[in-house]
A = this chain, B = another copy of it.
Amino acid sequence: MRLDIEIMMELQKIIKENRLGLLFQQGSFGIEKESQRVHQDGSVVTSAHPKAFGNRSFHPYIQTDFAESQLELITPPNKTLEDTMRWLQTIHEVVLRTLPDDEFVFPMSMPAGLPPEKEIKVAQLDNPEDVAYREHLVQSYGAYKQMVSGIHYNFQLSPELINALFNAQSQYQSKVEFQNAVYLKLAKNFLRYQWVLIYLFSATPTVDANYFKEGSPLQPNQYVRSLRSSQYGYVNAPEIIVSFDCIPEYVKTLEHWVNSGKLIAEKEFYSNVRLRGAKRAREFLQTGIQYLEFRLFDLNPFEQYGMALNDAKFVHYFILCMLWIDEIADQAGVEEGKARLAEVAFEDPRQQTKYASEGERLLSAMIAMLNEIGADESAVKIVKEKLAQFAQPELTLCARLVAEIQSAGGYQALGAKLAQQYKTHAFERFYALSAFDNMELSTQALMFDVIQKGLSMEILDENDQFLRLQFGDHFEYVKNGNMTSHDSYISPLIMENKVVTKKVLQKAGFNVPQSKEFTSVEQAVANYPLFEGKAVVIKPKSTNFGLGITIFQQGVTNREDFAKAIEIAFREDKEVMVEDYLVGTEYRFFVLGDETLAVLLRVPANVVGDGKSTVAELVAAKNAHPLRGDGSRTPLKKIALGEIEQLQLKEQGLTVDSIPAEGQLVQLRANSNISTGGDSIDMTDEMHPSYKALAVGITKAMGAAVCGVDLIIPDLKKPAENNLSSWGVIEANFNPMMMMHIFPYSGKSRRLTHNVLKMLFPEMQ
């Protein structure tokens, strides 16, 4: 045996001797999942790929595969399968919430209710070559065969592992050749034993009769393990044999089939293992195989996203075992593996497989490997569960699927039912991304838009809500949903400092209420002439429950009244403030660039009587609103019935058990914060444009690109005037909240995250 082959046989030994068990378990994982868009009845749609998903010429996450109706959802590579599944779930949530109301995602690999072949439109990609290739496939295989969906599982070994293995041997001088040999061992053994994965994970037992041009090969009521992986699936002609012996041979045989015209391109070679990391196979000679793509997985209809995390983990261990075992399948072995695959695929899923003992032997070897490399107990448990399925075929996914198809009255009916369930589920918390619910809702909303529109996204720090977005060569960072490079450093510093904010706004000519602080009654009263005739509020610097506050709403006209109010305030604190009092309602203006995008009114927690229900019942009913919850994982907060609320009720002569009259407004809080159960009401369209222009001006004076401006306005319909009785600015906030505008309690939703992206990437269409 050649020394280089010998060393590949001994990888297990090297790993053990060099204690590389942990590195061996590391790697990168990516999943691509195809699915058909379907009608409510599970039949394939003929509508175009939704425009809402942006542009397929660059979309990294949401593409079309063969047909216009066939979604291809792509996760970025991740260091853990957990993260990969989070992405897969998230992309699904974005897709399901974006599809038209009457479209669903079919959870099975074999399509159902196919339209006439000529109505199937190949994916309308921008690149004419891509469209031509698909038209060629239609000619070669027919459109129907191309409508099958599956999961492609991408796996890269840790580059550090390959380094460590390379350093631990001396037979290979070339790192590239060594790396190619490692991946080829893995690929060949995988092809040899791939039938095991079909036995365990296949889920295409049947299909509509009309799927086959020349009639179904299945007898009535016959079920198989995997039509998709059988000779009746979407496979190359049997003569297309490509050598996996070594890269030069692989390149030679693959190029032969392309040059001879049997394949239109290298990518038409549909091996269940594809070598990845180069545009053309020949490049592997120089750069080496970077990762492998495993293509034989049927969609698991019982999983909302097509594959269970534990199954994905099992696949990982299976792949590792292909590298671990002290054997390397030769070309004959590969062909034998392909033959067994075809056999097993056509077995009855409810029966034991012919090759059960080989499967049990292999899974036992996997368990031994897991113990040797110090894997978690949970890994061994996952493999043991699968091991049991060789003795109990009724536990396999496909056998369980057959039972469900029978009880649902057909696979299309079952698929339609599940598709509806999964879509409903995706809307349960429509304002959140379930897999990233540890992050802030506003960042989740932005991530939703990013994934929908197809910017590349990297989460730099989940706890810190730090994202890196990229489009072409242009990248931007975003923190907390709207903190970006578009705001200048000095803006938040100005806004953080109330004194400076007031000075800046006043200098720029805006109506800013003034306040003065005093440390003695005499000093305050001596300043009375400053306030005469003005509406002012007099209050202790630290207020407790509003004690000591006097408001001269119509203007203070009398020194004695003023002095009295000052004295009252001084009973509560050593410092007293006299502030301009603004009469009116507070509105929050959300400004981005040159535009006020949203205006919001915040109303204190309240219920409205119906003449029948108690306050407690009214509160419970209002709290059932889907937006209400704890206020951090939901856009709005449930109204509490604590001490403060009960005190508020008492002031209105009510208790929680009172039954307010129909239409009676019951206040449960004095303050209007959303965080204490307040209502958010969009008023963007109601607000007079002059105030919106003012908010933009205030934002510009702050030097800010994004700003939340709080104005007090007595009459939102009247044009703004240049005095404090028309309006006044009380605060300018950086990093303003967005959720209350995106999901207001009532009024129109304003998708501000969308505007943030437009600001950052104006070039993106």
Contacts and interface: CB of A to CB of B under 8 A. Distances in A.
A485 interface: yes
Nearest to A532: B164
A20 B483 CA distance: 49
A530 B23 contact: yes
A494 interface: yes
Interface string A516-553: 00000011011111101000000000000000000000
B493 A529 contact: no
Interface string A477-517: 11100011111111111100101100110000000000000
A146 to B, nearest CB: 38
A500 B459 CA distance: 10
Most chain-B Cβ atoms within 10 A of its Cβ — which of A23, A476, A559?
Answer: A23
Given A18-B529, A489-B485, A530-B160, A477 B494 contact: yes
Given A483-B490, A484-B489, A485-B489, A526 B19 contact: yes
A703 interface: yes
B529 A160 contact: yes
Given A164-B529, A489-B483, A529-B164, A703 B477 contact: yes
A485 B491 CA distance: 7
Interface stretch (A61-69, A113-121, A460-468, A743-751): A460-468
A248 interface: no
Contacts of A490: 476-479, 483-485, 487
A708 interface: no
B489 A529 contact: no
Contacts of A478: 490
B529 A499 contact: no
Interface size class of A (residues with CB under 8 A): 35 or more
A19 B160 contact: no
A19 B20 CA distance: 88
A527 B497 contact: no
Contacts of A23: 527, 529-530
A522 B376 CA distance: 13
B488 A485 contact: yes
A557 to B, nearest CB: 12
Given A500-B461, A503-B460, A529 B20 contact: yes
A500 B18 CA distance: 33
Nearest to A735: B489
A478 B487 CA distance: 15
A522 B483 CA distance: 41
A500 B462 CA distance: 10
A635 interface: no
Contact of A497 (B19, B461, B503, B529): B461
Given A527-B23, A559-B19, A703-B477, A487 B484 contact: no
Contacts of A265: none
A374 interface: yes
A644 interface: no
A485 B504 CA distance: 14
A301 to B, nearest CB: 38
Contact of A489 (B491, B504, B525, B559): B491
A670 interface: no
A360 to B, nearest CB: 30
Nearest to A492: B489
A169 B488 CA distance: 51
A209 interface: no
Contact of A493 (B20, B479, B497, B532): B479
A21 interface: yes
Given A529-B23, A530-B23, A497 B160 contact: no
Contacts of A161: 529
A689 B244 CA distance: 51
Nearest to A477: B490
A703 B497 contact: no
Contacts of A368: none
A77 to B, nearest CB: 15
Contacts of A483: 489-490, 493
A460 B499 contact: yes
A523 B529 CA distance: 75
25 contacts: A20-B529, A22-B527, A23-B529, A23-B530, A160-B530, A374-B526, A460-B497, A461-B499, A464-B499, A464-B500, A466-B500, A468-B503, A468-B504, A477-B490, A477-B504, A477-B703, A478-B490, A483-B489, A483-B490, A483-B493, A484-B489, A485-B490, A485-B491, A487-B490, A489-B734
Interface of A: 18-23, 160-161, 164, 374, 460-461, 464, 466, 468, 476-479, 483-494, 497, 499-500, 503-504, 522-523, 525-530, 532, 559, 703, 734
| Shortest 8 CB-CB contacts between residues of A and residues of B | A487-B489, A22-B526, A485-B488, A164-B529, A460-B500, A485-B490, A477-B490, A479-B493
Given A160-B530, A460-B500, A489-B489, 8 more contacts: A18-B529, A23-B530, A460-B499, A461-B497, A477-B493, A485-B491, A485-B703, A486-B488
